[in-house]
Amino acid sequence: MFVVGVLLAAFGAGAGRFGVARFPDPVTCPTSADIQTATNITAGAISTAKTALGTQALGNMTPIGHGIGRMIGTTASSFGYFESGAASLQFNRRWLVLMSDGAQNCSPPIPSDFFGTGSTSFQGKKVVVITVGFGDPGASTYAPDHTLLTNIETASGASGQFLDAGKVTNNRLLNTIITAAVRDKSTATVDFGKGTSTGMITSMLA
């Protein structure tokens, strides 16, 4: 799942936009689907997104690339949940939070299609990625691929970061986002503990 854009109620109404998507949708793969399309941050929109999170059926594949494509667009002229205007590209802080085990197993596209500096890349669209990795890297079966998640955030530029969900405590995820966006850790108020991706997203929207 993704949490996209300059998000969280901590920013306050009128201070940005957010959206939430899933990959895959409940039916087929490779696919992705909207949970909350990109919209202005308001109490109503946040409430709607939280309610929608509680109704999601599990998928059985992990088309990370398809989810990325939904969020940032797959062509030079498409920007997914992000605004496409020149002013937005130049001045807005554009963040994508990707929560996954990193086990890309359903294509196309693949995450590396968005690497580099071209017009369809994270950097070309001025999107910085924070990846949150779930699963035990030492597992003998269904091991996650935290290396891929690290490569994804690295490809988005120097401000990208990888966080291990099993170690995200003491507001670290929220701090990471807010600090990167407004350089003020004192505004973080949510303890994510070691919850699930849905639970963490719900906390972020609280």
Q: Which tens digits make up the pLDDT trace of 88-145?
A: 898 888 889 898 999 898 889 999 999 999 999 999 999 999 898 888 888 888 888 9
CATH code (residue 160): 3.40.50
Q: Which tens digits make up the pLDDT trace of 139-190?
A: 888 888 999 999 999 999 998 988 887 776 545 555 565 455 443 333 333 3
CA atoms within 13 A of residue 173's CA, in its CB half-sphere: 33
Higher pLDDT, 26 or 48: 48
Averaged pLDDT of the chain: 78
Residue 11's pLDDT is: 57
Q: Are 192 and 201 in contact (CB under 8 A)?
A: no
Strand partners, 99: 132
Q: How far apart are CA 42 and CA 167, in angstroms?
A: 30
Domain that holds residue 88: 2-205
Which amino acid is located at 87 in the chain?
Answer: A
Number of domains in the chain: 1
Give the mean model confidence (pLDDT) for residues 71-93: 92
pTM summary value: 0.80
DSSP letters along 146-191, please?
A: HHHHHHHHHHT-TT-EEEEGGG--TTHHHHHHHHHHHS-GGG----
